[in-house]
Chains A and B, each alone.
Chain A
Amino acid sequence: MRLEKCWFCSSTVYPGHGIQFVRNDAKVFRFCRSKCHKNFKMKRNPRKVKWTKAYRRLHGKDMTQDSTFEFERKRNRPERYDRNLAENTLKAIKKIDKVREDRAAGHHTLRMKGKKAKKQREEAKELEQGISLVKAPSVLQEEPSLTLPKIKVKVSHQESQENRAMEE
């Protein structure tokens, strides 16, 4: 039993899921679900489809090169069974996973850095441009700060008189 990678989105295909397609040149394409399969049939390039791992790696959104990837590699030579080795391997898998996760998070924060200044500039601009939507320009001239005006609704005299008549 082996877990395979989906050809399109690179997620793991568990046993009992997905479809395998064997082309005439004997190349096998595995898909995790019909979404990937249908995209493949539409001849879409996974490198251009935003939500696939191929795209993300290509455009630097996810971590590409790391020594943790070297641990998981398909070896074709079978090793003789050794209980200690097996134990160590199982424990190591967990640790390697954790390390990889941490490193991926670091990669993400690094990517997100340097956005703050840009964000602040954008906000300032938006404020400047859009203040007329919430505060009339004449009022702005009188009071140049960015506080919002208080809402005051004036009720007309006639209506108030009539209401009083109804109540009586």
Chain B
Amino acid sequence: MVQYNFKKITVVPSATDFINIILSRTQRQTPTVVHKGYAISRLRQFYMRKVKYTQQNFHDKLSTIIEEFPRLDDIHPFYGDLLHVLYNKDHYKLALGAINTARNQIGKVAKDYVKLLKYGDSLYRCKSLKVAALGRMCTLVKKLSGSLAYLEQIRQHMARLPSIDPNTRTLLICGYPNVGKSSFMNKITRADVDVQPYAFTTKSLFVGHTDYKYLRYQVIDTPGILDRPFEDRNIIEMCSITALAHLRSAVLFFLDISGSCGYSIAQQAALFHSIKSLFMNKPLMIVCNKTDLQPLEGLSEGDMKLVMEMKAEAMKTVIGQGGEATDDEGVLLTMSTLTEDGVMAVKNAACGRLLNQRVEIKMKSKKINDCLNRFHVAIPKPRDQKERPACIPQAVLEARAQQAAEKEKRKTERDLEDENGGAGVYSASLKKNYILANEEWKEDILPEILDGHNVADFIDPDILMRLEELEREEGMRQVEDDEDFEMDGKDLTPEEQEALAAIRKKKSMLIQQHRVKKSTAESRPTVPRKFDKSREFTTKRMGRQLSSLGLDPSLAIERARSRSRGRKRERSPERGDAMDVDTDESNKKLRTRSRSRSRSMSRPPTEFVPGAGFKDSEQKVKAIKLAKKSVKKRNKNARRGEADRVIPTLKPKHLFSGKRSIGKTDRR
């Protein structure tokens, strides 16, 4: 079975595209560099190659076009006729012919110019010969532009033609427009043909497939045919006529007995009679559609007569096939595609009749004899007249009956759910079918976790027993445990304890101080003790420490004092008066004034410094007071002052932008 597939034809380029393709290919695939200093034979060869290459490409491409397009005489007459109807055979042949001539002419051109190139004597001459050759070839192709465009159109249309196998079992549906052919087609096959109220909805042939008795049947839907003389028919109608003429199929002639297609039965009958010549040797069936609107019995006399005439014609085809002479059931059928009443019957009848016809023909042909000899159907001869039906044991029959009954009686969980309020309201009790020792225990809830333990880990049938054992053990253990702990002597006395506590305290203090000193050592200058600015190392302190150890400090204090005072007495013996004046001031002031200390101590804020802006310390004190008063309210209200930190830019660019030269930037 040859599948007519016109989808495999390569695309036909337009003339300009064609030329561009070939020329660019020549440019790419042949060497491009040439200088006039080369040997002449090399120059000639260079240009000859280009000409020949171009000619070769043209030849190849045009040949493919010519070969791929089907020759109308070589294909099945159905397709030949169809293509003729659609595209006009002559036009088609002319186009292909033009391409063929062009191909030959290009060959000639190339041959001529190659001959000339053999005698080219300079680069320029060879080059201009090549240019001329290529130019002529391209002009030839430019002249083909019409044909090429036409062929491309045809190719696109052909690719969309339905793939109808002319040799297989086919049902052909024909009739007036709008009688219901396409709806019938939709009903019996999976083809989705357009069904619309206007005439000529179907404009071309459509194929669908249906099955009957394990065989596949093609169903072809045709556009409607009007009753016109043959010459006046348009392309669309000619398609159907072609199909009718060439395909060896069963024909279903559709009749709209309700007249809702817009044509009366008389018109349809007239059509029938005009094309009945096409129904030769084909099992014909008259199908009366739209019986939902008008049943066959309700037809008028005249209409009925017409229908009967048609039926008579159809009968002829039946008789002609060597079937039963009076088999009129499969000839005239009624159906309604809207209510789907009788559709399957029509299909089955049509398929059946077609099948019978095909079988008959096969039987009559010579080929069958080759096959017949090869198989033999063996039928066992009946031994006696006893009937032997299938044997089914009684138990199985009973079980089947019971199952059937059960299926109806059993109440499913879903029914239960629906009764009790639906999916959201009712939740099925999963514990319903539990098998427990006591029925009351079914709905019990057991905690899974208790006091940080999994209860499931503890469940054990003999847990009681083991628990008892454990308790016994425990009891025995407690009895044993009542021994006294050894009490060693040599506990510390309270004094010793005090001493120990003091020792420990002292030790921890030392450690703390050391730690503080260590941590501040980096930022603190290590100054020898004589520059003791914070007045830590006083004699009083020394006295305290010594006496805490139990020693008498007075001697040590005097010694320390004498050494510090001695210096003053040596230097200024006449300053004894100054010393008396100074006794009014406190000791602290004395110390601050004394020149034996280091000079780098800061001054108290109320001290009068000449040249600093105040005339005396009283004024300075007042100024300080004023200043303090002015900020007191602000401070009390916890408001921000001048010295409070202000961040001028919240997002300084240098912190928020830029990549790091080394490292990651996932923190800013």
Interface residues of A (CB under 8 A from B): 1-3, 12, 67-68, 70-75, 79-83, 85-86, 88-90, 92-97, 99, 102-103, 106, 113, 116-117, 120, 123-124, 126-127, 130-131, 133-136, 138-139, 145-149, 151-154, 156, 159, 162, 165-166
Contacts and interface: CB of A to CB of B under 8 A. Distances in A.
Given A96-B467, A99-B470, A162-B583, 14 more contacts: A72-B454, A72-B457, A72-B458, A75-B456, A75-B457, A85-B459, A89-B458, A93-B453, A97-B451, A127-B496, A131-B499, A136-B550, A147-B499, A166-B586
The 4 A-B pairs at the shortest CB distance, nearest first, are namely A149-B550, A139-B550, A130-B503, A136-B549
Contacts of B458: 71-72, 89, 92-93, 96
A165 B583 contact: yes
Interface string B542-577: 011011111111100110010000000000000000
Contacts of B450: 90, 93
15 contacts: A3-B449, A74-B454, A81-B434, A82-B441, A83-B440, A89-B455, A92-B463, A93-B455, A93-B458, A95-B471, A120-B491, A124-B492, A126-B503, A149-B549, A153-B543
Contacts of B536: none
Contact of B550 (A2, A94, A135): A135
Nearest to A140: B550
B500 interface: yes
A102 B474 contact: yes
Given A139-B550, A154-B543, A159-B587, A131 B503 contact: yes
Nearest to B441: A83
B446 interface: yes
Contacts, number: 173
A117 B448 contact: no
Given A83-B438, A153-B543, A93 B446 contact: no
Contacts of B495: 145-147
A134 B549 contact: yes
Contacts of B550: 135-136, 139, 149
Given A136-B551, A148-B502, A92 B467 contact: yes
B460 interface: yes
Contact of A86 (B446, B473, B500, B583): B446
Most buried by B among A67, A94, A120, A153: A153
Main secondary structure of the interface of A (DSSP, over half): helix
B327 interface: no
Nearest to B584: A165
A82 B470 CA distance: 23
Interface string B138-167: 000000000000000000000000000000
B108 interface: no
A62 B477 CA distance: 19
Given A151-B548, A162-B583, A73 B488 contact: no
A149 B551 CA distance: 9
A134 B557 contact: no
A64 B498 CA distance: 41
B449 A90 contact: no
A45 B272 CA distance: 100
B463 A117 contact: no
